[in-house]
């Protein structure tokens, strides 16, 4: 007996950043759209356990660090760190945003969110396992936006470690402030988390497998950032974690460094060695190409089947929420164009921020990458030691670097370390993406006394 199929114009696998912007745009354009997600809510991992909840904790740390800098400058008295209440604040923000998303969904009659996990039956048929049994859909177009999940390596005792999921999901596992923490992994998630907890007074040991923290990122940016981080973080490089043991309430992490076995102990061990794409069942079986980093797509986001798109973390191109949102809209535009490539995602010009305290951010080509490609760049520089806002905030570490193409003086990329990094990369990012030159940046009256002033000054530094 063949199962009855419901027909929809578009089905999204997932309801996160790669899915819902397209779902709304297409539904508002008159198409019938179904989003599927086992969470039963919109926003994916970003709101559930990623960007938003981690920043709710981070911003509390930022306020605390500012308060410390002002302890002798007009703000006296010690602020008490109350981690359980920070967690309650984080949970409340998540709840507020879920309620807001439910309201948005209610305004869009052509769009349904079905709680359940989706799998491919054939290139036009998707089965969704719901609480009330399986539903099958005949779909004209599919957007695979199943995202990514925490990668837990097969290390003995890995189950004794927490992951970012346990820290940031609603009603998280970790609700009290650990005195000591071991972080396995010196990527941006591990370093950010180490930095927040260090601000709250936790002693953190961070174990990084290779020779560089934030491996793959610009070494000059990293070298500028690391000395500005809390002394409560001890960073151990070239540490190869071999096993984790639970000893009562303690976690002991054994690692090998230069041939010798060493150990680090904490109330909590965090596993933060990366994320991996979540590939829906049936994807490879129906003939969609899945590579090492995820589902293979070009800038039109189409898979081998022009009517099946893969947007967001699942394609492994730029695993960041804002990149997923843009890709989702590209997929929507190409669906509206009849599965022709009318719009393209720009994978090379997406801002990335490391939300440590203080943070760092970058976009495009840096001097080191240019050198590795045998290219020359002209570097513009501005240090926050001379910046009025940084001086007002008593946060003068770091600065802005901009990299221009010789001749055209087109801005190819840049980085910021220090105050407002995650905000400043917006202006620099737009300038890179739109091909502005050093002359354009130098001629724009960035506002005084704000940190964006430094962008114009960095551009003028090359003349």
- Binding positions for ligand ADP, rule: CB under 6 A: 13-14, 16-19, 36-39, 44-46, 117-118, 145-148, 278, 280, 312-314, 321, 324
Which residues make beta-bridge pairs with 399?
Answer: 383, 417
Q: Alpha helix locations (H) across 107-187?
A: 164-168
User: How would DSSP label each residue in 283-327?
Assistant: TTTTT--B-SSSB---TT-B-SSTTEEE-GGGG-SS-SHHHHHHH
State in angstroms the smallest separation of the CB of 116 from ligand ADP.
7
Q: What is the dihedral of CA 288, 293, 298, 304, to 10 degrees?
A: -10
Q: Which is nearer to ligand ADP, 186 or 312 (CB)?
A: 312
Q: Which is nearer to ligand ADP, 201 or 282 (CB)?
A: 282
User: How far is residue 121's CA from residue 5's CA, in Å, rounded to a whole number?
Assistant: 12
Q: Which residues contact 340 (CB under 8 A, 6 or more apart)?
A: 306, 334
Q: Which is nearer to ligand ADP, 147 or 266 (CB)?
A: 147
State in angstroms the smallest separation of the CB of 44 from ligand ADP.
2
Residue 212 gets which letter from DSSP?
S
SS3 211: coil
State in angstroms the smallest separation of the CB of 12 from ligand ADP.
8
* Closest among 366, 121, 88 to 222, alpha carbons compared: 366
State in angstroms the smallest separation of the CB of 146 from ligand ADP.
4
Q: Which is nearer to ligand ADP, 19 or 26 (CB)?
A: 19
Q: Which is nearer to ligand ADP, 17 or 414 (CB)?
A: 17
Q: If residue 47 lies in a helix (H) or strand (E), which one and from where to where?
A: helix 44-49
Dihedral sign from CA coordinates of 210, 59, 429, 300:
positive
Q: Which is nearer to ligand ADP, 135 or 389 (CB)?
A: 135
Q: Which is nearer to ligand ADP, 46 or 271 (CB)?
A: 46
State in angstroms the smallest separation of the CB of 35 from ligand ADP.
8
State in angstroms the smallest separation of the CB of 310 from ligand ADP.
9
State in angstroms the smallest separation of the CB of 329 from ligand ADP.
12
Q: Which is nearer to ligand ADP, 229 or 314 (CB)?
A: 314
State in angstroms the smallest separation of the CB of 221 from ligand ADP.
25
Q: Which residues contact 289 (CB under 8 A, 6 or more apart)?
A: 295, 296, 303, 304
CA distances in angstroms from 99 to 5, 43, 172, listed in the order given: 31, 12, 19
């Amino acid at each position: 007996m063949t199962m009855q199929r419901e027909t929809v114009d578009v089905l999204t696998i997932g309801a996160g950043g790669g899915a819902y912007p397209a779902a709304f745009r297409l539904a508002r354009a008159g198409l019938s759209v179904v989003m599927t997600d086992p969470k039963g809510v919109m926003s994916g991992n970003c709101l559930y356990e990623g960007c938003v909840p981690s920043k709710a904790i981070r911003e509390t740390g930022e306020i605390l660090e500012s308060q410390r800098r002002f302890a002798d400058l007009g703000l006296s008295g010690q602020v008490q760190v109350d981690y359980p209440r920070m967690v309650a604040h984080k949970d409340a923000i998540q709840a507020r945003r879920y309620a807001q998303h439910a309201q948005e969904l209610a305004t869009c009659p052509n769009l349904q969110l079905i709680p359940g996990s989706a799998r491919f039956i054939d290139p036009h048929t998707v089965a969704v396992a719901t609480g009330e049994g399986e539903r099958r859909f005949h779909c004209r177009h599919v957007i695979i936006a199943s995202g990514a999940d925490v990668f837990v390596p097969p290390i003995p005792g890995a189950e004794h470690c927490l992951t970012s999921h346990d820290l940031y999901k609603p009603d998280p596992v970790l609700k009290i402030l650990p005195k000591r923490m071991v972080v396995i992994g010196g990527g941006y998630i591990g370093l950010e988390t180490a930095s927040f907890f260090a601000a709250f007074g936790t002693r953190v040991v961070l174990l990084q497998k290779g020779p560089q923290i934030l491996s793959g990122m610009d070494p000059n940016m990293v070298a500028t950032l690391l000395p500005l981080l809390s002394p409560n973080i001890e960073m151990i490089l070239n540490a190869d974690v071999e096993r984790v043991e639970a000893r009562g309430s303690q976690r002991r992490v054994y690692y090998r460094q230069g041939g010798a076995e060493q150990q680090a102990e904490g109330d909590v061990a965090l596993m933060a060695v990366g994320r991996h794409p979540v590939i829906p069942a049936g994807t490879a079986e129906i003939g969609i190409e899945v590579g090492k980093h995820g589902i293979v797509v070009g800038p039109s986001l189409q898979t081998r089947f022009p009517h099946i798109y893969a947007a967001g973390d699942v394609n492994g191109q730029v695993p960041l929420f804002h990149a997923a949102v843009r890709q989702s809209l590209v997929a929507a535009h190409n669906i509206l164009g009849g599965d022709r490539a009318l719009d393209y995602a720009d994978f090379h010009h997406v801002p990335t921020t490391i939300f440590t305290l203080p943070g760092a951010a970058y976009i495009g080509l840096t001097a080191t990458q240019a050198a590795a490609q045998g290219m020359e760049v002209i570097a513009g520089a501005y240090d926050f030691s001379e910046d009025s806002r940084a001086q007002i905030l008593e946060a003068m570490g770091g600065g802005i670097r901009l990299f221009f193409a010789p001749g055209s003086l087109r801005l190819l990329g840049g980085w910021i370390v220090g105050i407002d990094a995650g905000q400043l990369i917006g202006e620099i990012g737009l300038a890179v993406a739109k091909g502005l030159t050093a002359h354009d940046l130098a001629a724009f009256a960035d506002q005084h006394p704000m940190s964006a002033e430094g962008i114009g000054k960095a551009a003028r530094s090359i003349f």
